[in-house]
Amino acid sequence: MKILQVDFPSPGPFGAEMSAALRELAESIAQEPGLIWKLWTENAETKEAGGIYCFEDLDSLNAYKDMHSARLTDMGVTNLRFKIFDVNVALSKIDRFPGL
Amino acid sequence: MKILQVDFPSPGPFGAEMSAALRELAESIAQEPGLIWKLWTENAETKEAGGIYCFEDLDSLNAYKDMHSARLTDMGVTNLRFKIFDVNVALSKIDRFPGL
């Protein structure tokens, strides 16, 4: 398991409007090779959005990261911030992370 | 649900050594008021670590954030980065985030 942490400034939409506008994007992300899950994050006050992705391996993560970076840039997003992490499974289990 | 995203430079330990060294800290975090779960993140190559926390509400998140920020600073951590997010539940469900 490899984690891709993404965040960036966003003018919106947020909340229910975001859910409606990005449903098809979420459905396409669900089909990405190697994706286990994505947590969608948003902050309407600070005007930021992002995601925490879990991929099966680093190759599938990097392939998605390159494609998604280009897609977000095409959508006008700037100041994209990516971080790649491993999961510490033993500690995450102690702290009740679901699905481990 | 409120998400607290934390990351910072770390000299380690990582992996199994991190699991052993921070087990008691993880057990204490599991008792924090309002904590639903924490995902522990680490990167031995870039020498970074962090966590994705889910709290019941913003008050419990902010109380933890203030305490944890002081604790990490006492441990010598600098360049701490915190971000607070809501979860877009509808989109996260489409992308199989566990436990929703």
Here the CATH number for the domain that contains residue B45 is 3.30.70.100
Question: Could you tell me if residue A85 is inside a domain?
Answer: yes
pLDDT at A81: 97
pLDDT category, B55, cuts 50, 70, 90?
Answer: very high
Domain count, chain A: 1
Classify residue B57 as left (phi > 0), alpha (psi -120 to 50) or beta: beta
A39–B52 C-beta distance less than 8 A: yes
**Of the partner residues A84, A95, A98, the one whose CB lies closest to the CB of residue B26:** A95
Region A14-36 average pLDDT: 98
Rounded CA-CA distance B92/A59 in Å is: 23
Interchain contact B1–A (C-beta under 8 A): no
Rounded CA-CA distance B100/B95 in Å is: 11
Interchain contact A28–B (C-beta under 8 A): no
- In this prediction the pTM is 0.97
Region A69-80 average pLDDT: 94
Question: Could you tell me if residue B99 is inside a domain?
Answer: no
pLDDT category, B36, cuts 50, 70, 90?
Answer: very high
Question: Could you tell me if residue A83 is inside a domain?
Answer: yes
* Separation in Å, CA of A8 to nearest CA in chain B: 11
B85: chain A residues, CB-CB within 8 Å: 41-43, 48, 50
Rounded CA-CA distance B64/A37 in Å is: 26
Q: Structural domain of residue A28, as residue ranges? A: 2-94
Mean pLDDT, chain B, integer:
97
pLDDT category, A30, cuts 50, 70, 90?
Answer: very high
Beta bridge partners of A2: A55, A86
Question: Could you tell me if residue A50 is inside a domain?
Answer: yes
Question: Could you tell me if residue B17 is inside a domain?
Answer: yes
Rounded CA-CA distance A78/A72 in Å is: 8
pLDDT above 90 covers a percentage of chain B that reads 99
pLDDT category, B23, cuts 50, 70, 90?
Answer: very high
Question: Could you tell me if residue B31 is inside a domain?
Answer: yes
Question: Could you tell me if residue A99 is inside a domain?
Answer: no
**Of the partner residues A37, A42, A90, the one whose CB lies closest to the CB of residue B85:** A42
Mean pLDDT, chain A, integer:
97
Rounded CA-CA distance A11/B82 in Å is: 20
pLDDT at A60: 98
Region B67-81 average pLDDT: 95
**Of the partner residues A7, A23, A46, the one whose CB lies closest to the CB of residue B94:** A23
Token pair listed for B36:
């639903």
